[in-house]
Amino acid sequence: MKRRNVIILSVVWLLVMVSIVASTATLLATGSFPIGRSRSEERDMASRYARLETVRRELSEHYYEEVDEDALLTGAIRGMMATLGDPYTFYYTPEELTAHDEQTEGAYQGLGFLVQNNASGQIEVIRVYSGGPADAAGAQVGDRIVAVDGAPVQGVSAQSLQDAVERMKGEAGTEVCVTVLRDGERVDLDILRGDVAASNVESSMLPDQIGYIEIFQFSGDDVSAFESALDSLEEQGAKGLVIDLRNNPGGKLDDVVKIADMLLGECTVVYTQERDGSREDYYSDAECCALPVSVLINGMSASASEILAAAVQDLDRGTVVGTRSYGKGIVQTLLSFEEDGAGMQYTSALYFTPSGKNIHGVGVTPDVIVDSDYENYSGEPDVERDEQLRAAIEAVAEGIE
């Protein structure tokens, strides 16, 4: 095995590209796997798993058509993992893992929008990258993808979403027809696959010298871009700061801790706990931004987004505004296999907020709850139409001396 990573992610979110992403919160880890079983138990286990080889051999030798041995192996692995009923535990083919790694770096070839499973089992566009292929084709935030090249797709599970993404993948310069449901009508988008620069942070100065930073994912250029944005806003005389995490699916654990370190002061940002009770804490130091802060979240703010929002709330560092977040408080381990570049991930731990809460299945409840029909969180902030943003600005203004 080439590497072992611990990750926090929400696999119901994927960036449509030549690859797939499971927006991860990642932490390098080392070590071997403790077996925890006696030799007799290991022999018994090996005997039981011999059935797999018997089935493989029987199919390989006697099935009425020639079988694909690689497909049999992949199917067996995915079937084993599927029995756990855990959407965050699944297998990567070499191509899928390579694509995941490429997207994490923030530059890739593909379509250029971010999608998620919604509560209705549809695949919903939550961000369109400015200047990318999907943007040029007219894709919009809120579009529901219902077909790819005429074949129906759905997002009822991580696997069905992955299958849909696979259909949208392809060589740069080739075209794919993505059919979306928009305002009750079907719209065909002919998208020419190409280069996408996925910057994960955008910022601007709002009225009354309130700085605004939107983080799309905790990966790629997020840490350096956030630091640059924060420095720029402070140089421009910002008196307060709104951090927008709405529709942010999560990302690297290291990254969210580094960004929290710029905001929180000396504290525990988050800690994880494994099945055996072992705990690992992640800290920030004393040096931080002194501006009053508010954080925007919604039902699609997940994983690493919830870590930052919960830390701000628990430590009374600012005001959390919006609607209750997604509720993902578990940790995954990612393994890659050196022999062929494939990989797997599985749920391995819980994570807890600084006050000791696990928000899995519960989410973070904002200090100020504001429901809104406004959904265009991608692009320039719209203070006039965005009720949640106005509430976040008001919360920050209350903290300005």
- Active-site residues, by number, are 303, 314, 328
Count of residues in the chain: 401
Q: CA torsion, points 32, 38, 44, 45, in degrees to nearest 10?
A: -20
Strand-pairing partners, residue 253, are none
What residues have CB less than 8 Å from 21, skipping those under 6 apart? 13, 14, 15, 99, 100, 103, 104, 219
Rounded to 10°, the helix 222-235/253-261 angle is: 20
State the Rg of the chain over Cα.
Answer: 22
3-state SS assignment for residue 237: coil
DSSP 78: H
Beta bridge partners of 330: 350
Nearest C-alpha neighbor of 393 from the set 293, 326, 323, 317:
293
d(CA 190, CA 150): 12
Of the candidates 197, 141, 194, 193, the one whose C-alpha atom is nearest the C-alpha of residue 167 is 193
Separation of alpha carbons 198 and 212, rounded Å: 19
39-62 and 69-82 helices, crossing angle to 10° = 130
Q: Is the separation of the CB atoms in 323 and 298 below 8 Å?
A: yes
